[in-house]
Amino acid sequence: MNKLIAHPSPNWNERPTSTVIDTVIIHYTGMKSGKAALERLCDEDAQVSAHYLIEEDGSLFQLVKEDKRAWHAGISYWRGMNNLNHNSIGIELVNPGHEFGYRGFPEKQIAMLLKLLKDIHQRHDIVPANVIGHSDIAPDRKSDPGELFPWGYLNANGFGLFSQETGESTIQLLKRDDNGKAVEKMNSLLKIVGYNITEIRTFTQESEDALRAFQMHWRQRAVTGVYDQGTAIILQDIAGQIARDEDIK
């Protein structure tokens, strides 16, 4: 891996005793420049940080050591775990985000991300379902790394889940406040994938937020929060992959 640039942040604390690091969370910085993002992540008053930051040119900075608890996830949930700061490694990718001119992620940046993920994988047991985005763990308030992030490319290189289903149909199947067996199935599948669905029987705001986050990750061409045929096909596939992996264990 290319030279790691140490840029220590004061914003960390100890992980809980006996914590197993089992998740990687990918973010975008959502600021006008990498310099501004680096300054904020190292500002004691900001109370935010991550373990790593990758610039658009591929420069890699370490802000917090992996065995320490960086403050990147906030209020969060994934696959039965609350407060993902405890058990995750946070990686920030420099990108202005949706507020300041969201754009694709450069090849050099993604190449360095893959090198870093391979390096992390040598130290920690990160299953494919636990390489996720900030929007996955906090779908009601976050949208990073967004619909331009190349999850399919990561999967092709051995990290994260992806579906080969095209999911082209936009015919709507369910709408907000619907209930019944079809809603229960949708919410149950979202829960299998990892989202925090507390009301299984009704299509709630929580369901819609989770659907939008799911689409941002696995059905990027139509991020609507609408449960349509295309989303249903891909959701069934991703949930099935996770269920099969759990059965193998």
Instruction: List residues with catalytic annotation.
Output: 92
Answer whether 151's CB lies under 8 Å from 160's CB: yes
Tell me how far apart the alpha carbons of residues 22 and 183 are, in angstroms, rounded to a whole number.
30
Q: Quick one: which H or E segment has residue 205? A: helix 205-218
Other C-beta atoms within 10 Å of 112: how many?
22
Contacts of residue 191, Cβ cutoff 8 Å, sequence gap at least 6: 197, 200
Contacts of residue 18, Cβ cutoff 8 Å, sequence gap at least 6: none
| Strands 81-82 and 52-54, sheet pairing | unpaired
Nearest to 159 by CA among 149, 144, 167: 149
Tell me how far apart the alpha carbons of residues 21 and 1 are, in angstroms, rounded to a whole number.
21
Query: Which is it for the CA torsion 212, 216, 217, 220, positive or negative?
Result: positive
Q: Rounded to an integer, what is the distance from CA 157 to the centroid of its chain?
A: 17
